């Protein structure tokens, strides 16, 4: 999947953080398609309507949390890469995220354009094995 084909969904209820994160993604990958959801209901709709390749999801979404939402999404779309985002470096969050089917848990404070580029490129590797 090339950058032009990549579809990213941001699920974040904090408007300011969501906008900052979207700007960071556009800086890292100017040609990706980005959509947003502020809660679980909208996120589930966007999974079917927008068909994202990668979801960046806040662990706390008000009425619903990102762990439960990840389980719901992975049950119907196991191919979607889901990265849980949190401000808190708590081992229980890491365990819960991985048990829910999330591909990774990242600290919001550690996000940068460079590590977003590295992470997303790791999800873009070709399916066939290529020896270097």
- Per-residue model confidence as pLDDT tens for the chain (132 residues): 455 589 999 999 999 999 999 999 999 889 899 999 999 999 999 999 999 999 999 999 878 899 999 999 999 999 999 999 999 999 999 999 999 999 999 999 988 888 888 888 887 754 333 333
Burial track 98-114 (b if 16+ CB lie within 10 A, e otherwise):
eebbbbbbbebeebeee
Report the predicted TM-score, pTM, of the whole model to 2 decimal places.
0.89
- Delineate the domains of the chain, giving CATH numbers in brackets: 7-122 (3.40.50.2300)
Distance CA 131, CA 55 (A): 29
73 vs 112: CA distance, rounded Å: 26
């Amino acid at each position: 999947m090339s950058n032009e084909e990549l579809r990213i969904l941001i699920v974040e209820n904090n408007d300011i953080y969501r906008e900052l994160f979207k700007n960071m993604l556009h800086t890292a990958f100017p040609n990706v398609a980005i959509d947003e959801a502020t809660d679980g209901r909208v996120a589930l709709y966007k999974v079917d309507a927008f068909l994202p390749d990668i979801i960046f999801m806040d662990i706390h979404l008000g009425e619903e949390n990102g762990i439960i939402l990840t389980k719901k999404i992975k049950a119907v779309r196991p191919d979607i890469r889901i990265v849980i985002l949190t401000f808190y470096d708590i081992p229980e969050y890491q365990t819960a995220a991985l048990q829910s089917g999330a591909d990774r848990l990242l600290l919001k404070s550690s996000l940068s354009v460079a590590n977003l580029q590295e992470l997303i490129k790791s999800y873009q590797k070709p399916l066939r094995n290529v020896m270097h």
